Structure 1
Amino acid sequence: MDMEFFQPFVENPSNTPDNDPLYNEPLFNDPLDNDVPKMDVENDIHHRGGSDDDSPDSDKLIEGVGLQTVQPSSTNAGPAFQEEKSDASKDEMKAVVEEVHEIRGRESATGEPFRYRTRISGGTLLLDKFDECVLALRRVFTEDYMTLIDTFLDIQSPLILKALMEAMPEEKARLESIPSFKWPYDRLFRYRSRISDAAVNEGELCVKHVAVLLDLILEEYQSRIRDIDAMLPKGTASFDILADAFPPGDMIVDGVSDGARAYRVTSSYYKSFLPSESPDGSDTFVIEYEYVDHDGQTFGTVSSHADIARFEGIRYLTELALFPFESHPNTEGLRRNLVKRGLQFEELKGYSFKAYWDPRSVAPSRVVVNTLAIRELEPRMRIQVNDMSARLDSGQLKIEDVMICTNKIPYFSLDEKAFLWGDPDFFEEIEFDDELWDQLVLGNTMKNALRTLTANHLKGHKFDDVIAGKGKGRVILLHGPPGVGKTLTVEAIAEHIKRPLYTITPGELGVSSVDIERNLRRALDISTALRAMLLFDEADIYMEQRIAGNIAHNATVSAFLRLLEYHQGILFLTTSRTHLIDPSFHSRFHFCVNVPIPSGNDRKKMWKHFASRTSGIKILPKELDKIALQGLNGRQIRNTLSVCTGLVADEGNVGPKTIGNILSTMGYGGDGF
């Protein structure tokens, strides 16, 4: 082990303190003990021209003055005072704290002859009597003994050291290297309860040793304890005792409402600024905290911090941006809400197809939660979490971690076509329209084929092309006159198999071929990652035959063909102009469906279905037969009833006569009502 001895160099090893006048000459006066001879070790080395390498003479000198040296047991044992003591030596240690005075270049101990000190790997070992004390309070003075520079608390008891490492694991590395604190040390005061508990776990002797430390702490912090006892129970604090209101491990909240968020304190401290950083020289109290999030693969903690500027006087803790959980006006209500929200967050960690009630909306929107996929698709939503696997209970969060779960869940809104943040409290189950499937004008054979084709693909039954990455998707073309229900057919399929439906139109993809390809590729990627069916409505504009000389259009068609080839999800295309489609697309369609013009019976079913979903509209069966004869397609029927919905608010119930007037006004007929 690397050892550095501060000791005089002597030319004659036989010299001793008794026959060397230098040793008997006082070099400075100790106000606490004028009879104790002192020596300036470093100056003495310099005056005699010696060096630390003169170890043989140095060893004899040490023996001559009756001092001890410490030989480490191994080269990696760490500081000598951390070497494992036998049970007997631990028992022999005195459960007291001794005060030691240290002078720069000179050292003295109150009431004792000069004590020799060795320094090993940066640590300090007090020898002789002081090695037997569990603690040493070391005060460092200037060389003239007039100014106190620093005070340190040296931990000499291995039992105290062990209790401190257990109570303050974040200090373990430092304590293993240098078991000493600059005194006073606020962290010891704030962790005093943990230190006491750790001592109890180690046994009676440890309790005895730690009691000395706790007594020293309480004596040092008497004034602060009085302030704490007077303020914190009343929910108030001055700036100087904020550290005691926010101990590590405690839960804090960010508001007085029952919907407040909770966090766990990891550290808190005062931060002083340089004059250039803060002209008024004010301090800041920093609260470092953590909360639980999910990165798509595992639960973990995310760290953050908040700053509280210095304030004068006393404030209620609830006036601060963050305050202790116990200071909340309704702790039980908040606890219930935090647990409920956390459990909902835990449930939404994977894939979910939900309804989301945004407080700004009048109706819920359908959204997809797929944390891992969304964080990969949207860089701004990516997070880094700290590992917390050791805290999980069979992969599940403990209740104290459930309460500090984030209230932000990334989701994709199928209505707004955007990645957004949602509150776990606002997600709920979707109420699917089971009747919509029955309203389709397609025959049962065609309906069953569509249902089977889409459902099996989404379950993972797929045929792969011989070329890797090709042929894994399904492209289905629906064609027919405008308004016959092509879009409604796709919506009914999605509703029937309870899958998300992501709809895009040509106007959303841009104008240039570069924008079109980029936006279309992203739409395909989003639908695949979110396990959604993708509907490209009126896609014929990008499928029209290529024309010689029209470079931009031809590039768009080629890009579309290439993307279809490698798409891995379900894609529905609708068109009313099949005769204009480029022949190259025909081999890309896995299934083509001709949606016919609805018959009179089909129109009757659609009127009945849409009217039943619109409150205030009453149509008798015989009147329904008349309306069905008007020859409207599905879109026209839906538009008519949409207008009726607005009239209901002013006129009350709407009957066939009103519907007939609307049809006439809109140019759809209406005669005979």
Structure 2
Amino acid sequence: MVKQLATEAGTPLLKQTPEVDTGKKHQIKTPKENQRIYRVDQFYSRIINAKGLPTGVIVDIRSPKLAAVLKQILQGAEGLDFSSADQSPEISPEALFFAWEDLKVHKEEELLKKQPDHQLVDDLSVALEYLEVDHGSTHSELKVLLTDNLINYRLLNRFFKPGDILYSEKNELNERQVLKLVSATYDEDERHGKHYAVNAKLILHDAEYLGWGETRFFLQEFEGNMKITDLDVFPFSHHPAKSSIEATLIERGRRFMDLIQKPVCKWYGAVAVRSEPVGFEMREVRFMASKRVMIDPQRFGVHNSSRDKLRKPGVRDRISPSSQFADGDIMCCSHRVLGFSFEEKKWGAFAVSKLQEITWNKTAFDKVVLPTKKLSLVRDLIISHRVQTNDKDSDHLDFPEQGDDDIIKGKGQGLVGLLSGNPGVGKTLTAEAVAELSHRPLYAISAGELGSEIEYMDRRLVEVLNITRSWNCVLLIDEADVFLHRRGTDLASNAVVSIFLRRLEYFQGVAILTTNRKVDIDPAFMSRIHFKLHYSDLGFNAVLQVWRTFLSKEIADAKSAISEDDLQHLAKEYKLSGREQIKNAAFCAKSISRTRNEPLSFELVRDLIDNLGYVGGGRIEKKILRSKGQYARTKAQKHREWRRTKVFAVKAKQSYRARKDSR
């Protein structure tokens, strides 16, 4: 880059790098007394490459007063250095172009003063003359285009002003994002072809630090004029709804700052993004995230590689989370935060605007099919543990401080429950109800997800236990038979049980384990659980309650064509294999009624079960019949067939004995 210093005699001295050669080099400078400068071409220099071709123009500001004015006008613009007092600042013609209107205003204001600074006025006049001569036609063309909200590719470098606040919706979540322009230049490469590269910065959390990070937009070359708002990124001042959007973005920025302070659980029901390897690079992939998510950028960094695409761009200038931010900065907070989806069991980035507060289901425990006394004891046990572990929702209750239940510090502070029974009897529902009652998210995982290789299983188990403890979750380990069975001669199986017992002993949260085993459970495990519930197969009353749970709204609806009597008939005559099949049948019936735009009816539920034969992938255990009369007739027919078979067997036996006696 060309540098220009002044000798003691004031003669310009050129200093150049080997890569750059120059032609004549002129500068804007303070004229001598009673001397005016009229030739504009004396005040800029052209950069010539080794082949003698011009590659650019540099403007040298030799007037300290003009430099002070430009410093004020272009304050905050990247790449401009006005700090050196012993040498002239160098700026690009583009930067001077952006100062055009402000230079005019400064000149007019100076002339209106009682004692104007004529030296400054002369310097401003020379700068404006240069701009008019070299950039007058460009200025006029740009002004006409902007009046119609248009721009062309050639004038992009006169459109993006240093320090501009930019606006974009070019992201995987299609969210509004405001950024600050850092730099912009024309460029060309194999991937993007000819393009205008716009570097901008925003406030983000990269899973390690909070601060300003830079991202880049590539505006590919286009023909003719384009609407400004059709660009992937453009100055926010050209957005037609700027004033109404600003307040929303400021509020979202404040929410972003609150979300990154500590782990927080929210409800989410929209598209999220995750990082996935595609070929030799990591890319952002969209996925649908639903229900509850945990926002925790710091733990995202613990469990995900530094190569993870969601951690880009990285933070360049760190910021303290406790810092005070102006509205212009808070608007630049990222539109997304890093976290974990419990439903999909995936780490990802979630839109700040789509995160909502959780409404805990206070009546979830009432839907659990258990004897009242057992239900009451478990409920009180959960509430007690929630209070004693300093849950923020229970601060109004007065409980003594919890101590260790074991001699060794850190042991015995968890709450572990074992739920046994056949599939579909309500074990998972109980775990969900425990989570709702304790106002904690449910982290559900099956034993198969922990793996079978001992070292991996141990590492994965520690990871899950740490996460659930850190996030204050209720941990559900489904199908935990492999961890519970009585130890024998199989060393590998014994090791799995031993590892699980050791980790569980120091776990300080709430863990619910489900199993199909009722017996043959290792005695060491039985000594570590706080409550054990066995679920019998659903009887008539339990099945009826399940039907009521999933069709309660329809029964209460006056327009509905299904009644309490119909539910009793469903519970008595249609034996489905567990709670999930009833849930699936109710869900499918309600979906069909919405599609047909008709009230839900008993006939629809009956026809759906009869004709599908399978509901949600579960097999119906008993033949479903269309009416009570048909069921009665079929039962009588079966009884007659049984009697005929029985009579035939007796007669055959008598005949055999008769033949034997005759011999």
- TM-score, normalised relative to structure 2: 0.66
CA deviation after TM superposition for structure 1 residue 375, in Å: 3.5
Contact 1:533–1:571 (Cα < 8 Å) also in 2: yes
Q: Hey, what does 1:538 align to over in structure 2?
A: 479
- 2:380 is matched with 448
Report the secondary structure of 1:357's partner residue. Answer: strand
Pick from 256, 260, 269: which aligns with 1:357? 269
Aligned AA (1:478): L
Q: Which of 461, 474, 488 is residue 414 of structure 2 equivalent to?
A: 474
2:181 aligned to which of 251, 255, 266: 266
- CA deviation profile, 1:135-193 (whole Å, cap 9, x unmatched): 98487999xxx999998755444443444444345456564166335576322222445
Deviation at 1:413, TM superposition (A): 1.5
- Compared CA separation, residues 272 and 468, structure 1 to 2 (3 A): farther
* Structure 1 residue aligned with 2:297: 371
- CA contact under 8 A between 1:189 and 1:217: conserved in structure 2? no
SS across alignment from 2:204:
strand
SS at match of 1:358: strand
Query: Are the counterparts in 2 of residues 296 and 349 from structure 1 also a CA contact under 8 Å?
Result: no
Aligned partner of 2:294: which letter?
A: V
Say which of 525, 530, 538 aligns to 1:585. 525
Give the Cα–Cα distance (whole angstroms) in 1 for the partners of residues 47 and 497 of structure 2.
85
Out of 323, 328, 351, which is 1:400 matched to?
328
Q: 2:172 aligned with 1:229, yes or no?
A: no
1:382 aligns with 2:311: yes
CA distance in 2, matches of 1:631, 1:450: 35
- AA in 2 matched with 1:358: A
1:518 aligns with 2:459: yes
Asked whether the equivalents of residues 247 and 265 of structure 1 are also in contact (C-alpha less than 8 Å), the reply is no
Which of the residues 124, 128, 142 maps onto 1:215?
Answer: 128
Q: After the TM superposition, which residues 106-121 of structure 1 pair with which residues of structure 2 at under 5 Å, given as runs?
A: none
8 A Cα contact 1:270 1:283, kept in partner: no
Structure 2 portions without partners, runs of 5+: 17-26, 272-285, 393-400, 594-598, 614-618, 633-663
Q: Within 1, Cα distance between the matches of 2:602 and 2:337?
A: 43
| CA–CA distance in structure 2, aligned partners of residues 498 and 408 of structure 1 | 25
CA contact (8 A) 1:535 1:573 kept: yes
1:608 aligns with 2:520: no
Distance 1:133 1:465 in 2: 92
CA distance in 2: counterparts of 1:477 and 1:279, whole angstroms: 57
Q: How far apart in 2 are the matches of 1:140 and 1:585?
A: 83
SS of alignment partner, residue 176 of structure 1? coil
CA contact (8 A) 2:268 2:290 kept: yes
Helix, strand or coil at the partner of 1:580: coil
2:500 corresponds to: 560
| 1:474–1:570 contact (8 Å) kept in structure 2 | yes
C-alpha distance 352-174 of structure 1, shift in aligned 2 (>3 A): same
1:390-412 superposed Cα distances (whole Å, 9 cap, x missing partner): 9x9x8565443444333323232
Specify the code of the residue in structure 1 equivalent to 2:218: D
Distance 1:600 1:194 in 2: 84
C-alpha contact (below 8 Å) 2:339/2:349 kept by paired residues: yes
The reply to whether residue 160 of structure 1 matches residue 66 of structure 2 is yes
Percent of aligned pairs with the same amino acid? 23
Contact 1:434 1:495 in 2 (8 A): yes
Instruction: Give the Cα–Cα distance (whole angstroms) in 2 for the partners of residues 669 and 499 of structure 1.
Output: 40
The 1:605/1:553 distance shift into structure 2, 3 A limit, reads same
- For 2:28 and 2:566, the matched residues in 1 are separated by 104
The range that moved more, 225-234 or 602-611, is 602-611
Residue type of the alignment partner of 1:528 = R
Aligned twin of 2:622: 667
Matches within 5 A, 1:497-508: 497-508=438-449
Does residue 646 of structure 1 match 2:588? yes
Q: Determine if the alignment matches structure 1 residue 321 to structure 2 residue 227.
A: no
Following the alignment from structure 1 to structure 2, what is the Cα–Cα distance between the partners of residues 667 and 279?
63
Distance 1:232 1:140, change over 3 A: closer
Rounded to whole Å, the distance in 2 between the matches of 1:373 and 1:411 is: 8
**Superposed CA offset, 1:74-104 (max 9, x none):** xxxxxxx9xxxxxxxxxxxxxxxxxx88799
Cα deviation 1:192-215 (Å, max 9, x = unaligned): 4567789989x9659647634643
User: 1:495: how far off?
Assistant: 1.3
CA–CA distance in structure 2, aligned partners of residues 103 and 353 of structure 1: 62
Residues 464-523 of structure 1 show CA distances to partners (whole Å, capped at 9, x for unaligned) of: 589998437514122343354332222111112221001111222233223323332332
Residues 76-95 of structure 1 aligned to structure 2 (within 5 Å): none
Q: 3-state DSSP class of the match of 2:212?
A: strand
User: For residues 45-84 of structure 1, what are the structure 2 equivalents within 5 Å?
Assistant: none
User: Is 1:432–1:495's contact at 8 Å kept on the other side of the alignment?
Assistant: yes
Residue 577 of structure 1, CA deviation: 2.6
Provide the C-alpha distance between the structure 1 equivalents of 2:15 and 2:438, rounded to a whole number of angstroms: 82
Bigger CA drift: 329-338 or 215-224? 329-338
RMSD: 5.2
Unaligned runs of 5+ in 1: 7-67, 71-80, 82-99, 106-123
Which residue in the other structure is 2:203 paired with? 292
Q: How big is each residue's C-alpha offset from its partner over 1:621-660, in whole Å with a ceiling of 9 and x where there is no partner? A: x776777789989x72452353244345369412799499
Mapped partners of 1:602, 1:127: distance in 2:
95
Query: Is this contact kept in 1: 2:551–2:586, CA < 8 A?
Result: no
Contact 2:180 2:202 (C-alpha < 8 Å) held by counterparts: no
